[in-house]
């Protein structure tokens, strides 16, 4: 039987302390209302936010949505790309965390996503996202290798910088049969200047921070951008 990444994700990268930091970050920007989580994964963050918001989850991976719904059965879910939100409602808050923006490999896709978020955010609403800093490219010039077990499933995870600002993730899982199952994930790192330039095409009020701390630190792992839409 094939290994589903959704079934192993929480054990692979789950971090309850970081999840709470993300929830706290959201709650500093908004206290209630409707919230759409893009690239929602297995729903760990949504579980922290449902006491405060009416949450909807969106992910392109059906297995992720299945796990999200198991955790948050009261939440509406959408299996679709975050590039195009047509047909969905309008929200007080839209979030995109876990460096999910970096899975968009084309600049035009990022700009389409920003347009779609703008169109589906209420006046006065806030769009919250994080993204890799360029320091991550330097960090992974030397190949990163992690090996271990997720329950009875052995795995190996490598990350290495590639040309054109890419990060190449190679995951190999060895299930009960011992047959390796390989998964490649590619991310593209955008500069803060690029992201701010694309956001400036809309009337966002943008505040940038780094790794949950105030200020811009190019050596941090992630930039956080809080983009507030005007009320008029």
Q: What is the pLDDT of residue 29?
A: 97
Cα 175 to Cα 78: distance, rounded to the nearest angstrom: 29
Mean pLDDT in residue range 98-112: 97
pTM for the structure as a whole:
0.96
pLDDT at 153 over 70: yes
Q: Are residues 47 and 58 in the same domain?
A: yes
Mean pLDDT in residue range 95-124: 97
Within 10 A of 58 (CB to CB), how many other CB atoms are there?
A: 23
Q: Are residues 59 and 155 in the same domain?
A: no
Coil/strand/helix, residue 41: coil
Q: Are residues 15 and 77 in the same domain?
A: yes
Query: What's the domain range around 166?
Result: 135-188
Lowest mean pLDDT among 11-15, 114-118, 164-168: 11-15
Q: Are residues 38 and 125 in the same domain?
A: yes
pLDDT at 19 over 80: yes
Q: Are residues 124 and 150 in the same domain?
A: no
Please give the torsion angle defined by the CA atoms of residues 65, 71, 37 and 223, in that order, rounded to the nearest 10 degrees. -110
pLDDT band at 1 (very low <50, low <70, confident <90, very high): low
70-98 burial: b if 16+ Cβ within 10 Å, else e: ebbeebebbeebbbebeebeebbbbbbbb
CATH number at residue 173: 2.20.25.110
Which is nearest to 191 in space by CA: 165, 168, 169?
Answer: 165
Dihedral sign computed on CA atoms, order 168, 140, 151, 42? negative
pLDDT band at 231 (very low <50, low <70, confident <90, very high): confident
CA distances from 70 to 41, 66, 73, 88, 211 (A): 12, 6, 6, 22, 29
Residues in the chain: 232
Q: Are residues 129 and 140 in the same domain?
A: no
Q: Are residues 33 and 143 in the same domain?
A: no
pLDDT at 118 over 70: yes
Q: Are residues 18 and 58 in the same domain?
A: yes
Q: Are residues 174 and 214 in the same domain?
A: no
Q: What is the pLDDT of residue 5?
A: 86
Q: Are residues 101 and 144 in the same domain?
A: no
* 184-213 pLDDT per residue, tens: 999 999 999 999 999 999 989 999 999 999
Q: Are residues 152 and 215 in the same domain?
A: no
- Per the structure, the count of domains in the chain is 2
CATH number at residue 92: 3.40.50.150
Q: Are residues 114 and 182 in the same domain?
A: no
Q: What is the pLDDT of residue 129?
A: 98
């Amino acid at each position: 039987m094939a290994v589903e990444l959704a079934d192993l994700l929480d054990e692979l990268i789950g971090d309850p302390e970081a999840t709470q930091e993300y929830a706290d970050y959201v709650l500093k920007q908004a206290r209630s209302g409707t919230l759409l989580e893009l690239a929602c994964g297995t729903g760990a963050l949504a579980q922290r936010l449902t006491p405060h918001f009416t949450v909807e989850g969106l992910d392109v991976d059906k297995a992720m949505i299945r796990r999200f719904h198991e955790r948050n059965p009261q939440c509406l879910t959408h299996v679709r790309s975050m590039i195009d939100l047509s047909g969905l409602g309008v929200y007080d808050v839209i979030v995109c965390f876990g460096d999910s923006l970096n899975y968009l490999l084309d600049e035009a896709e990022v700009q389409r996503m920003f347009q779609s978020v703008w169109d589906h955010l209420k006046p006065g609403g806030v769009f919250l996202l994080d993204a890799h800093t360029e320091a991550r490219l330097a960090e992974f010039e030397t190949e990163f290798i992690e090996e271990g077990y997720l329950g009875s499933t052995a795995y190996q995870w490598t990350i290495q910088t590639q040309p054109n600002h890419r990060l190449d993730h190679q995951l190999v899982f060895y299930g009960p049969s011992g047959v390796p199952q390989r998964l490649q994930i590619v991310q593209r790192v955008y500069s803060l200047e690029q992201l701010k330039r694309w956001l400036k095409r809309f009337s966002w009020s943008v505040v940038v921070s780094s790794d949950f701390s105030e200020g811009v630190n190019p050596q941090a792992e992630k930039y956080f951008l809080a983009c507030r839409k005007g009320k008029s």
